[in-house]
Amino acid sequence: MKSNTFAGLLIPAFAALVMMGCEKSDPLSATGEMNATEDAAESIASAIGSDNGGVADQLSDVVELASKSGIQGQSSGLLGKYGDATEVAKIDTSYDPATGTWTLKLERERGNPNGVPYAQISRTYTYQFLNKNDQPQKYYIVGADTAYTIKFNIVEGTGIHRTRRLSQQLTGLSGSFIATDVNTRLITINGNYERSAVDTITTRNSVRTLDHTLKLTLTDVQVPAGRRFDHTRKFTGTISGTYTAFVTFQRGESYSEKNISREFTIELGDGECAIHVRGLKFVGDLFLGELKRLAR
């Protein structure tokens, strides 16, 4: 009789252990999938935003090259302030006449280092001005004519930034853009962009860490030439990409881990980035790099 009772206790215990093992390998619940998608959208919006050094910031750098002063116009000498009193830019350039290629190194700091938002940005670019015959020329304006195309490469980048909900440590950056019609008022940019970083999203109840890689393809992104401050309100075009991340979720003393992968498209317009992912539409602020709302 005792052996039967013992066996009766063992069977449910064994079944419980099997179920626990299965839960670790099972897919996320519907709520978990939704939370993972929202975290991915938050991370994507942060990587797109201008103020925190995202892709919109680099696109503005391309547009500013299509002017007489160029990016160098941001600084007074090599160190100076521009835009507002919370931003400092340091810029250094060199030119290789053998290849017709410029190398530009810049450092930016935006906001209060002890506050939010804040960004510390370091970038290295190479670029060429091409004339109407697709031949390199040294400056945007040579003689009576301007360049027609700019070939722009992001060689490397480092930095950190913080928004109200997210903090990021950038671990890798590269990209290649072709800007056409830079001899007109409406500039068109196509290209590829890749960014790796570790994001930490903190809420009242939990902390999520996303060690991720973002790969983007820019298709006919357009913006009128003009003041940098106006760019984010006037960008239009489409960005498609993939987001892969290893996510650590911690709540109190417990934590879990999960790999996630999302494909998405982004529509730019009216100062917003509309992120379409898994049938959902998240709307981000293109300047601040933060999600504004979920529009199902």
Residue-wise pLDDT for 194-210, tens only, equals 999 999 998 888 899 99
pTM for this entry: 0.84
pLDDT in tens, 80-105: 333 444 577 899 999 999 999 999 99
Select the more confidently predicted residue: 17 or 187: 187
pLDDT of residue 86: 58
Helical spans, DSSP H, in the chain: 2-25, 30-48, 55-65, 228-234
pLDDT in tens, 54-69: 999 999 999 999 998 8
Q: Minimal CA–CA distance to 57: which of 210, 186, 213, 173? A: 173
In a domain, 13, yes or no: no
DSSP-derived 3-state class of residue 33: helix
In a domain, 189, yes or no: yes
Domain count, the chain: 1
In a domain, 211, yes or no: yes
In a domain, 18, yes or no: no
Range of the domain at 62: 32-294
Q: Minimal CA–CA distance to 208: which of 161, 243, 255? A: 255
Position 111 pLDDT exceeds 70: yes
How would residue 183 be classed by pLDDT, with cut points 50, 70 and 90? very high
Structural tokens at position 71: 């990016």
pLDDT of residue 66: 94
Query: What is the rounded average pLDDT for all residues in the chain?
Result: 86
Distance CA 234, CA 270 (A): 6
In a domain, 167, yes or no: yes
Length reported for the chain: 296
In a domain, 241, yes or no: yes
How would residue 123 be classed by pLDDT, with cut points 50, 70 and 90? very high
> Lowest-confidence range among 149-158, 198-207, 251-260?
251-260
In a domain, 1, yes or no: no
pLDDT in tens, 21-39: 333 434 556 677 888 899 9
Distance CA 36, CA 43 (A): 11
Select the more confidently predicted residue: 71 or 83: 71
In a domain, 101, yes or no: yes
Indicate the pairing of strand 149-162 with strand 186-202.
unpaired
